[in-house]
Amino acid sequence: MILGILNVTPDSFSDGGEHGDAASAVEFAQHLVETGADIIDIGGESTRPGAERLPVDEEQRRVMPVLRELVARGIAVSIDTMNASTAAHAADLGVSIINDVSGGTADPDMPRVAAETDLMFITMHSRGASATMNERAVYRNTIAEVRTELELRIAHLLVQGVRSERIIVDPGIGFAKNADQDWELLGGLRELRVLGHPVLVGASRKRFLAALLPAGSKPRERDAATAVISALAADAGAWGVRVHDVAATKAALDVWSAMNGAKR
């Protein structure tokens, strides 16, 4: 699955401020769908390292008009939020997926909303809040620790009534991880499949890719590398990728599936 990223934030690291009004955000989402996105992942709160939390009413003011219009157009939408009330409101408007970068830990009501709405729920691995997560990127065995911490998140969701088949896991590339740890997790994606849940990968334009490019390059110049990661993630059995440049990832995934067809 390709989740196309639609950030309606003034400060996201790679595309902040591009979709300042609802109409341009909707048009951009439509473009992502036309170029191959299966789902639009809409978020109103930046989670870049160091970001402070946004008041929930401001988050909802940003995302709800866009979300309402996308659903009206028959587009599948996921809501990228750490707030249970935003998730509940989005569920009322018809979203298909709740995507919580805190894995259901930032808001104590989130697991209950996930259970009651019975939507797909993406539980992403991170440690602490965006403001402090970089300090917590200390692991003895990155893959094993991320896997264990995801297991705890899953257990917490199950206890609160979320159905197992609704849970998608995400290693949280760039969240409480340094570049080496991000690469380790991507290299070890297969080992996350033992969790028994679909795996989502969000590597698009992230900081760890900068070292592959000339100094001073812009985040959008990381799109080719992102597309390669999409194909390799598919090869490692990932369920989905969350990307900015949908067309490049679609091409990479088409190549991967053509080669796989040829192998059979």
> In 3-state terms, what secondary structure has residue 243?
strand
77 burial level (CB within 10 Å; 0-12, 13-18, 19+): buried
Supply 232's token pair.
């390799």
Q: Does 149 bind ligand PMM (CB under 6 A)?
A: no
Q: Does 242 participate in catalysis according to the annotation? A: yes
Sequence length of the chain is 264
CA distance 90 to 120: 13
Q: Does 263 participate in catalysis according to the annotation? A: no
Which C-beta is closer to ligand PMM: that of 253 or that of 259? 253
Q: Does 77 bind ligand PMM (CB under 6 A)?
A: no
Q: In the chain, which ranges are E strands?
A: 2-7, 39-43, 77-80, 97-100, 120-124, 167-170, 200-201, 240-243
CA distance 85 to 70: 20
Site string for ligand PMM, 191-230 (x = CB under 6 A): ---------x-x-x--------------------------
DSSP result, 79-112? EE-S-HHHHHHHHHHT-SEEEETTTT-SSTTHHH
Which C-beta is closer to ligand PMM: that of 89 or that of 206? 206
CA distance 226 to 250: 11
Least separation in angstroms between residue 261's CB and ligand PMM is 29
Identified binder of ligand PMM from the candidate list 107, 242, 245, 250, rule CB under 6 A: 242
> Which positions from 153 through 192 interact with ligand PMM, judged by CB under 6 A?
170, 172-173
Tell me if 258 sits within 8 A of 7, measured CB to CB.
no
Least separation in angstroms between residue 244's CB and ligand PMM is 6
Dihedral sign (CA 246, 43, 100, 64): negative
Which C-beta is closer to ligand PMM: that of 69 or that of 182? 182
Q: Give the active site residue among 62, 147, 206, 250.
A: 206
Least separation in angstroms between residue 64's CB and ligand PMM is 18
Least separation in angstroms between residue 225's CB and ligand PMM is 14
Stretch that binds ligand PMM, among 4-12, 81-89, 178-186, 220-228 (CB under 6 A): 4-12
> Which positions from 88 through 127 interact with ligand PMM, judged by CB under 6 A?
99, 101, 122, 124
Give residues in contact with ligand PMM (CB under 6 A).
5, 7, 12-14, 47-48, 80, 99, 101, 122, 124, 170, 172-173, 200, 202, 204, 242
List residues with catalytic annotation. Answer: 206, 242
